[in-house]
A = this chain, B = another copy of it.
Amino acid sequence: MATLKEISLKAGVSVSTVSLVLNNRDAGRVKAHIAERVRKVAQDLGYHPNLMARGLRTNHTRILGFLSEEVATTPYAGGMILGAQEAARKNGYVLITVSTDGENSEDAEIAVLERYGVDGFFYAKMSNRFTTVPSRLSNYPVVLLDAVDSHNTVTSITPNELLIGYDATKKLIDAGCTRIAYIGCSEPMLAQGKRLEGYKKALTEAKLPIDENLIINVFNNGPALHAVEKLMCTYNPDGYFCFNDARAWYVYESAARSGLTIGRDISVVGVDNHRVLAETLSPQLTTVELPHYEMGYWAACKLISMIEDCDTSKFALPSTRSPLPSLANNGTVTIHCALIDKESVQ
């Protein structure tokens, strides 16, 4: 690793001149031909600044801390890290990811990241919920991922859960379904209530009745299958909106046992576009995609803009299936999730 000093020696100028040139702060301060020579030598030596030394001096490291409660391990949410990483990379930043296994270790993890001099933090949760950000983070730029700040003060990005329920149900209505079931989630989650609300909104708008018999909440386990089978036999829904792709499987299995064909006899919409499940199921599952990658990407751009206190227009957002909200937004930002049309809706 070449150093500034080596370059200065070889180019016959002082270290500070080299620093000036290589940081492009030589406009009208260093003669053009000498600046050129410096650049040449740097190029030849394959110079890259030592980021630790620079960080020590400038007090910013271009390291972002990614705090999560085992989010890295969930099959769903690795995409958030990937998206954040990608956006970070494009802007010359890097991620240190840390998982906290509980509230108690959290403080220690933050302390470690502080010692490395991170410039800001992501604070990610496993699924959309209200959260209070640790007070230790209050001096840093922070963006919440898949969680909403209880005090409604720190910027966050989450899926628009209501629209998920609305779009999915609308899809089934437009396909001609009139008796649409909702296979919900027994665990208390923000997403559960909102998606149900969207489901009801779509039905109401279409002047379809809300039949409480068609609404069930299940855990992700054996009894869930029986509950779905029973619902199918008893009330014969022609459409199913499922809280997630895993719950959609119960519909597939029940249909197979009942001799019903998905995409013809009944229609199904899930949520997640879970890589393994949604791709494996046959016919492929029409599902609303949770845009983890996109949320991560957005959060990183947002965080960097906060760190650099700069105009958000410098960030090029990728064009993705779920269009990203403007970076100018603050507070509780939501993202309209794309419905991925596959084969399970007639």
A72 at interface (Cβ–Cβ under 8 A)?
yes
The verdict on A97 contacting B73 (CB below 8 Å), with A52-B56, A279-B220 known, is no
In the assembled complex, the Cα of A65 lies from the Cα of B265 at a distance in Å of 52
Q: Shortest beta-carbon distance, A253 to chain B, in Å?
A: 6
Do A70 and B97 have beta carbons less than 8 Å apart? no
Instruction: Check: A23 CB closer than 8 A to any chain B CB.
Output: no
Which of A61, A115, A221, A283 has the most CB atoms of chain B within a 10 A radius of its CB? A115
Q: Is A75 in contact with B280, judged by CB distance below 8 angstroms?
A: no
Q: A28 at interface (Cβ–Cβ under 8 A)?
A: no
Is the CB–CB distance between B253 and A75 below 8 Å?
A: no
- Complex interface: chain B residues within 8 A of A246 (CB): 276, 280
Give 1 or 0 for each of A212-247: 1 = CB within 8 Å of chain B CB: 000000001110110000000000000000000110
Closest Cβ of chain B: how far from A14's Cβ, in Å?
Answer: 21
Among B89, B99, B112, B221, which residue has its beta carbon within 8 angstroms of that of A82? B99
Name 23 A/B residue pairs within 8 A (Cβ), A-sorted.
Answer: A48-B111, A50-B117, A52-B52, A52-B56, A52-B61, A74-B275, A78-B78, A82-B99, A85-B98, A85-B99, A86-B99, A89-B98, A94-B98, A94-B116, A220-B279, A220-B280, A221-B282, A222-B282, A225-B282, A245-B276, A249-B280, A253-B256, A277-B277
Q: Point out the residues of chain B lying under 8 angstroms from A283, CB to CB.
A: 222
A139 to chain B, nearest CB (A): 11
Q: Is A51 an interface residue (CB 8 A)?
A: yes
Q: How far is the CB of A63 from chain B (nearest CB, A)?
A: 8
- Copies per complex of this chain: 2
Within the complex, which residue of B56, B96, B109, B249 is in contact with A95, where a contact is CB–CB below 8 Å? B96
Chain A residues within 8 Å of chain B by Cβ, number? 62
Determine the main DSSP class of A at the interface with B: helix
The answer to whether the Cβ of A1 comes within 8 Å of any Cβ in the partner chain is: yes
Q: Mark A77-100, 1 if CB is under 8 A from B, else 0.
A: 011011001100100001111110
Q: How far is the CA of A73 from the CA of B293 in the complex (A)?
A: 9
Complex Cα distance, B51 from A147, in Å, reads: 31
Q: Does A49 contact B (CB under 8 A)?
A: yes
In chain A, positions 235-276 with a C-beta closer than 8 Å to chain B are 245-246, 249-250, 252-253, 256-257, 259, 274-276
B78 and A72 contact, CB distance less than 8 A:
yes
A78 and B74 contact, CB distance less than 8 A: yes
Nearest-CB distance from A255 to chain B (Å)?
A: 8
| A215 to B47 CA separation, bound complex (whole angstroms) | 56
Give the complex CA separation of A49 and B112 in angstroms: 10
From B225, B253, B276, contact of A276 by CB (8 A): B276
Return chain B residues, CB-CB under 8 Å to A70: 82
Residues of B within 8 A of A63 (CB): 96, 116
Chain B contacts for A197, CB-based, 8 A: none
CB neighbours of A85 from chain B (8 A)? 72, 97-99
Task: Give bound CA distance, A90 to B160, whole Å.
Answer: 38
**Contacting pair A82 B75 (CB below 8 A):** no
Interface check A131, CB cutoff 8 A: no
The answer to the question of A106 belonging to the interface, with a C-beta cut-off of 8 Å to chain B, is no
Find chain B residues with CB under 8 A from A73 CB.
78-79, 82, 293
With a cutoff of 8 Å between Cβ atoms, the chain B residues found around residue A190 in the complex are: none
Q: Which 9 A-B pairs have the closest CB atoms?
A: A256-B256, A75-B75, A225-B282, A246-B280, A78-B78, A73-B82, A51-B115, A222-B282, A52-B52
